[in-house]
């Protein structure tokens, strides 16, 4: 009997291995636990350079495990199907290449061009590493989207992501208060302090103070991650305040009485969390987000929220249901704004040195594009190209241009840039012009659209979505959720 029980549990674990690992990934991918693989260019001018150093991380381990188990299940189902069927294994989603969509076609062509750029790269090990990283993330995203079309697993995964963000928020707040790292190196926290060169800092009352890092390589990456959590939390609050907007059936949630509480729609992704904890979540992630002092993320959040308001404003009863709840939300945001203004009066986050460095990177990018207009210099080659062109810079100054569109044009040329734009356009067109939002919960669907919009805006001012692994993963997260919602209604 015990052996039979153990066997049943092992069978269940194998049947749900991909789902469990996907949830674990969303819960822990932000931990920067990794093994770096040093190269001759890992220490340019004596300082460690992130962009010229491959690594194998905890996130890599989880993604490769998911890809491997998924592949084994496909082989078992197709090659030894009769035996495997008798084992009682649950049917797994199938990656089909029949009737490939336009966005998939452009993505495959873009990946092919990235792989081809290895041939003309100056330092091929980095180019190969970057190509394999992109391929790994794309395969993982495709598998995750297949499984997350199940509403139950979607909610579990989003909740895991929320816990991940909450942990990073607490960690970032503690780092800011301590003005240094906390010694959690076993979780992937970097060593940083206010007197270490290359550490992102601000000036408060004339004194250097670190920005919140979490376990990410830079505060800007933490800000992008927490931006996702802020949107999810705000969308959940709106769902509680305007329950009629959480489903496509707007008439299904009419108020019964003035003082009678309205039941939260079952479509909300965090409906099992009490309202007080939702406000606490918003406060914590909001403070952690602010302490990153990421200008590009602040801008992305601002315009993303404007886009979100525009998308949901066509729903009925918006003004009617706003009355009392609006006062609470307005008070909350006024307090945050007052805190922000008070801190910003004593804080310098916009320095002339930073602007000059960005101009330098842009100049190098323009020069690279003019010298290699069609095919670029190869994926991952920007830093080494800058090193050879400007050998007298400080070690921490060897960075890519802070604009993904210029960066892609530099590394992959006009051809790569056009392929990227075609992919983005083809991805957005079914979202904007089809009725996917009406089939899904509009608020949930719109929030991921606005997160993606914010990321595309941030891409004008930063580069980590393209050349840092965790940054690329963060950029892909809203894509995974949007694709999962699309697949839910595929015939």
Give burial (CB, 10 Å; 0-12/13-18/19+) of 46: exposed
- State both tokens at 474: 């963060």
Bridge partners (DSSP) of residue 203 are: 208, 348
Residue-level pLDDT at 252: 41
- pTM, two decimals, is 0.85
Residue-level pLDDT at 197: 75
pLDDT of the chain, 491 residues: tens digit per residue: 577 666 666 766 777 888 999 999 999 999 999 999 999 999 988 888 899 999 999 999 999 999 999 998 888 777 666 555 455 555 555 555 445 678 888 999 999 999 999 999 999 999 999 999 999 999 999 999 988 888 888 889 999 999 999 999 999 999 999 999 998 999 999 888 888 877 888 888 778 889 999 999 999 999 999 999 999 998 888 877 766 555 444 444 444 444 444 443 445 677 778 888 889 999 999 999 999 999 999 999 998 988 888 777 765 444 444 444 445 545 554 554 455 445 444 444 445 556 666 788 888 899 999 999 999 999 999 999 999 988 888 887 888 999 999 999 999 999 999 999 988 887 776 665 555 555 555 567 788 888 999 999 999 999 999 999 999 999 999 999 988 887 765 54
Q: Is the Cα torsion angle 143, 148, 150, 153 positive or negative in sign?
A: positive
| Helix-then-strand count for the chain, H and E | 18, 7
What is the distance, to the nearest Å, from the Cα of residue 229 to the centroid of all Cα atoms in its chain?
10
Residue-level pLDDT at 14: 74
> Per-residue b/e over 190-213, b at no fewer than 16 CB within 10 Å?
bebeeeeeebbbbeeeeeebbbbb
Torsion of CA 204, 209, 213, 215, to 10 degrees: -150
Residue at token pair 């769902």? 239
Residue-level pLDDT at 21: 95
Q: Is the Cα torsion angle 228, 230, 232, 234 positive or negative in sign?
A: negative
Residue-level pLDDT at 274: 83
- State both tokens at 141: 């995203």
Distance CA(483)–CA(428), nearest Å, equals 11
Residue-level pLDDT at 439: 53
CB 383 within 8 A of CB 396: no
CB 201 within 8 A of CB 211: yes
Q: What is the DSSP letter of 181?
A: -
Max intra-chain CA distance, the chain: 73
Distance CA(264)–CA(67), nearest Å, equals 37
CB 176 within 8 A of CB 292: no
User: DSSP of 223-274, one letter per residue?
Assistant: HHHHHHHHHHHHHHHHHHH-GGGSSS-GGGG--S-SSSPPPPPTT-TTTTS-
Instruction: Report H helices in 29-123.
Output: 58-79, 81-86, 102-116
Q: How many domains does the chain have?
A: 1
Residues comprising the chain, all counted: 491
For 284, the domain range is 2-488
Residue-level pLDDT at 350: 47
CA separation (Å) from 489 to 148, 429, 464?
A: 13, 17, 33
Residue-level pLDDT at 97: 47
What is the distance, to the nearest Å, from the Cα of residue 282 to the centroid of all Cα atoms in its chain?
18
Closest CA to 44 of 198, 178, 172, 159: 198
Residue-level pLDDT at 45: 84
Neighbours of 59 (CB within 10 A): 23
């Amino acid at each position: 009997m015990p052996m039979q029980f153990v066997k049943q549990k092992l069978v269940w674990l194998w049947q749900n291995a991909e789902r469990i690992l996907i949830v674990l990934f969303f819960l822990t991918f932000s931990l920067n636990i990794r093994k770096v693989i040093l190269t001759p260019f890992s220490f340019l001018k004596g300082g460690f350079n992130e962009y010229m150093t491959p690594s194998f991380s905890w996130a890599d381990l989880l993604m490769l495990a998911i890809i491997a188990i998924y592949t084994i299940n496909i082989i078992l189902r197709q090659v030894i199907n009769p035996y495997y069927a008798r084992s009682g294994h649950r049917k797994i989603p199938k990656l089909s290449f029949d009737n490939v969509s336009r966005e998939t076609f452009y993505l495959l062509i873009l990946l092919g061009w990235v792989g081809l750029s290895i041939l003309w790269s100056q330092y091929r090990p980095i180019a190969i590493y970057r190509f394999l990283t992109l391929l790994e993330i794309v395969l993982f995203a495709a598998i995750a989207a297949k499984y997350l079309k199940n509403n139950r697993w979607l909610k579990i995964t989003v909740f895991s992501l929320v816990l991940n963000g909450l942990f990073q928020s607490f960690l970032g707040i503690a780092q800011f208060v301590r003005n240094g790292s906390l010694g959690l190196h076993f979780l992937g926290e970097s060593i940083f302090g206010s007197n270490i060169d290359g550490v992102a800092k601000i000036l408060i009352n004339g004194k250097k103070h670190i920005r919140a890092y979490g376990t990410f390589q830079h505060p800007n990456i933490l800000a992008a991650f927490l931006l996702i959590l802020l949107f999810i939390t705000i969308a959940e609050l709106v769902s509680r305040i305007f329950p009629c907007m959480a489903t496509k059936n707007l008439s299904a949630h009419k108020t019964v009485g003035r003082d009678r509480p309205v039941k939260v729609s079952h479509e909300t992704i965090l409906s099992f969390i009490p309202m007080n904890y939702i406000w606490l979540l918003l406060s914590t992630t909001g403070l952690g987000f602010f302490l990153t002092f990421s200008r590009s993320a602040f801008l992305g959040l601002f315009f993303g929220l404007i886009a979100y308001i525009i998308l949901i404003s066509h729903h009925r009863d918006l003004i009617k249901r706003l009355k009392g709840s609006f006062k609470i939300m307005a008070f909350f945001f006024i307090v945050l704004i007052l805190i922000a203004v008070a801190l910003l009066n004593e804080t310098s986050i916009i320095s002339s040195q930073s602007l000059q460095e960005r101009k330098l990177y842009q100049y190098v990018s323009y020069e690279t594009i003019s010298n290699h207009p069609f095919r670029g210099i190869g994926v991952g080659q920007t830093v080494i190209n800058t090193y050879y062109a400007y050998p007298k810079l400080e070690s921490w100054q060897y960075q890519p241009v802070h604009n993904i569109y210029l960066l892609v044009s530099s590394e992959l040329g006009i051809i790569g840039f056009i392929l990227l734009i075609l992919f983005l356009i083809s991805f957005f067109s079914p979202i904007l012009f089809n009725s996917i939002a009406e089939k899904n919960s509009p608020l949930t669907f719109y929030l991921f659209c606005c997160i993606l919009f914010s990321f595309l805006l941030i891409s004008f001012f930063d580069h980590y979505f393209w050349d840092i692994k965790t940054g690329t993963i963060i950029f892909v997260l809203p894509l995974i959720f949007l694709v999962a919602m699309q697949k839910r209604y595929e015939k």
